[in-house]
């Protein structure tokens, strides 16, 4: 692929879930932008929805990283006893107020599609208009850690349950599609599954990978950063590492592809 081939092309970017591993998406965006590649149309889920939302709102990669570093994940006073979930997702809204300029999809600089799971109907829901923050929160509300989000009387949770690689919304509208997949799958030893939390995390990862696997062939160029498997989904200490892994991997792949 020659760089000039991208001129005047509609470029799409699909971003998977992956929790803290999704910081690799920010590294991928930095590598793309450094080559004057600016996706027009983003489709994201969970951590990918948050990164895509920040990018569509005009945030720099530094500000994206700052958002994730300053937003608490497991804050003790966010614990809920009257909602299904360990932490009250609604209490994260003020952090969106601090970092986002747009409050509605229509105010974004880029087109954005966010997928969440309707728990009551058992169906994925694609949001691309109206209020912005609650769909973003819902898309990233990993059960059972975070409570579902109420939108128009329906309960929504992590979109990765139904679609962890939402490339579909881009297929008919984009001439070039890039994808970043951060829900890496690898074999683990018995000693790595010792408690209920580790069982839950492993089961979630298998579920996410199963519903994404058949879609990974759709993008023109797919980034699957290596070594992300060693980073915990909710381990904030891994933010910078995941970012660097994503950035370095995207640089290598883009240099090969653009030649």
For Cα atoms 155, 208, 112, give the angle at the middle one, nearest 5 degrees.
60
pLDDT of 76 higher than 60: no
The pLDDT assigned to 250 comes to 98
- Judging by DSSP bridges, how do beta strands 154-158 and 123-127 pair with one another? unpaired
pLDDT at position 206: 76
At 74 the pLDDT is: 61
**How confident is the model over 222-246, as a mean pLDDT?**
91
Residue 161 clears pLDDT 70, i.e. is over it: yes
What are the pLDDT digits (tens) for 78-87? 677 677 777 7
Q: pLDDT band for 20, please (50, 70, 90 cuts).
A: very high
| Token output for 167 | 């490339």
pLDDT of 236: 87
Q: Which residues contact 58 (CB under 8 A, 6 or more apart)?
A: 101, 109
pLDDT value at 112 more than 80:
yes
* pLDDT the model gives residue 259: 84
Angular region, 130: left φ>0, alpha ψ -120 to 50, beta rest: left
pLDDT digits (tens, 9 = 90+) for 133-154: 999 999 999 888 889 999 999 9
Q: Are 7 and 211 in contact (CB under 8 A)?
A: no
* SS3 letters across the chain: CCHHHHCCCCEEEEECCCHHHHHHHHHHHHHHHCCCCCCCEEEEECHHHHHHHHHHCCCCHHHHHHHHHHCCCCCHHHECCCCCCCECHHHHHHHHHHHCCCCEHHHCCCEEEEEEEECCCCEEEEECCCECHHHHHHHCCCCCCECCEEECCEEEEEHHHCCCCCCHHHHCCCCEEEEECCCCCCCCCHHHCCCHHHHHHHHHHHHHHHHHHHHCCCCCEEECCCCHHHCCCCCHHHHHHHHHHHHHHHHHHHHHHHC
For the chain, the residue count is: 259
> Comparing C-alpha atoms, which of 124, 153, 129 is closest to residue 139?
124
pLDDT of residue 198: 67
Buried b (16+ CB within 10 A) or exposed e, 47-67: bbbbbbbbbbbebebeebbeb
Asked if residue 7 has pLDDT above 80, the reply is no
What is the rounded average pLDDT of the residues 80-95? Answer: 80
Nearest to 161 by CA among 203, 107, 216: 203
Q: Please report which confidence band the pLDDT of residue 2 belongs to, taking 50, 70 and 90 as the band edges.
A: low
pLDDT exceeds cutoff 70 at 229:
yes
Cβ-Cβ contacts under 8 Å for 149 (sequence gap 6 or more): 89, 90, 116, 134, 137, 138, 141, 155, 156, 157
Q: Which residues have a catalytic role annotated?
A: 46, 158
Measured between alpha carbons, how far is 245 from 224 in angstroms, rounded to an integer? 10
> What pLDDT is attached to residue 84?
75
Higher pLDDT, 84 or 220: 220
Rounded mean pLDDT of the chain?
A: 89
195 pLDDT more than 80:
no
């Amino acid at each position: 692929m020659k760089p000039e081939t991208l001129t005047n092309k509609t470029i799409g970017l699909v971003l998977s879930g992956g929790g803290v591993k999704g910081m690799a998406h920010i590294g991928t965006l930095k590598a793309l932008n450094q080559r004057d590649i600016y996706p027009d149309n983003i489709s994201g889920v969970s951590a990918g929805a948050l990164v895509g939302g920040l990018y569509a709102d005009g945030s720099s990669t530094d500000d994206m990283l700052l958002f994730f570093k300053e937003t608490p994940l497991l804050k003790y006073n966010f614990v809920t006893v009257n909602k299904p979930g360990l932490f009250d997702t609604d209490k994260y809204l003020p952090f969106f107020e601090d970092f986002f300029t747009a409050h509605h999809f229509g105010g974004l600089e880029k087109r954005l599609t966010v997928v969440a799971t309707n728990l009551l109907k058992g169906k994925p829901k694609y949001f691309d208009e109206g209020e912005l923050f609650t769909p973003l929160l819902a898309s990233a509300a990993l059960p059972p850690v975070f409570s579902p989000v109420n939108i128009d009387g329906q309960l929504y949770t992590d979109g990765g349950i139904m679609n962890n690689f939402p490339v579909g919304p881009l297929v008919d509208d984009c001439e070039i599609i890039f994808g970043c997949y951060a829900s890496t799958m690898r074999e683990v030893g018995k000693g790595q599954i010792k408690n209920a939390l580790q069982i839950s995390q492993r089961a979630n990862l298998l579920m996410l990978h199963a519903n994404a696997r058949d879609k990974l062939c759709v993008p023109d160029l797919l980034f699957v950063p290596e070594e992300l498997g060693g980073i915990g989904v909710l381990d904030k200490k891994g933010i910078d590492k995941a970012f660097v892994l994503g950035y370095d991997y995207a640089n290598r792949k883009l240099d090969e592809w653009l030649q």
